Amino acid sequence: MTNKGLLTMLAAVTAVCGLSGNLQAQAPADGKTPGITSANDPTKPVPGGVRWFGRMHADYVNQTKANKFDVCFMGDSITQMWPADMFGKYFGRFKAVNFGIGGDRCENVLFRLNDGELQGATPKVIVLMIGTNNQGMNTAEEVAIGVTAVVKALREKCPKSKILLLGILPSTGTPYEKTKAINTITAKLADRNMIEFQDFGPKLQDKEGKILPGMLADTVHLTRQGYEVWGKEVGPTISKMVRR
């Protein structure tokens, strides 16, 4: 992507989502989300279409009501599929819970937040990785708008919680230039106060940008080796954010 193209995308997302302000979205006069031309609108909350969505969402609402966690991971199958032993190894000391649901897109996480997840909870840190499943349905700009909408919703739902936004990871199913364009935009959400951005995707790649052997189990999901990279890279960041 050219610098001109990137600047155009940044300007568009800023106009829609208020990146330079407090993430307050502009209200569209005609009910349509500005900047969204695809059939799929990542800013309109809808339940996930997978058969396990309702069951997992209900479980996360119950965990929210119990409110016995300090760190909450939210995302899609890449988050959901954290091996339990490794999740405990890297994040157990933070009283962390995993609210990942396979198949989720930005709009599905928005539905979950509107339907009870994290309602009344005050985790110290929310770790968010979302947008992977939007890449095949939306433009890079639209995915960035969707991710921004989720961050905005989290800030409104849990104003005292810090957010660690993770960049979308490289895969063999989406051109990495598109993924990088999304991450470049959403990185602008970081305010060095309540929102941090971290992209450990390059740690999964060699110097030429190719995914290192043994990191992916298929086209997108991580192996245990891949989760080792995630844990080692993100664990120290969470530790700093929890203490801050």
Contacts of 159 (CB under 8 A, 6+ apart): none
Q: Please name the amino acid found at residue 238.
A: I
Q: ∠ CA(181), CA(182), CA(188), 5° rounding?
A: 100
Distance from chain centroid for Cα 119: 18
Tell me the two tokens of residue 187: 């990185």
Angle between helices 224-243 and 84-91 (to 10 degrees): 30
Of 111, 87, 89, the residue nearest 101 (C-alpha): 111
Gyration radius of the chain's alpha carbons = 17
Whether 114 and 144 have beta carbons less than 8 Å apart is answered as: no
Active site residues per annotation = 77, 218, 221
Tell me the two tokens of residue 212: 């290192």
Tell me the two tokens of residue 138: 């939306």
Of 67, 58, 80, the residue nearest 118 (C-alpha): 67
Distance from chain centroid for Cα 122: 18
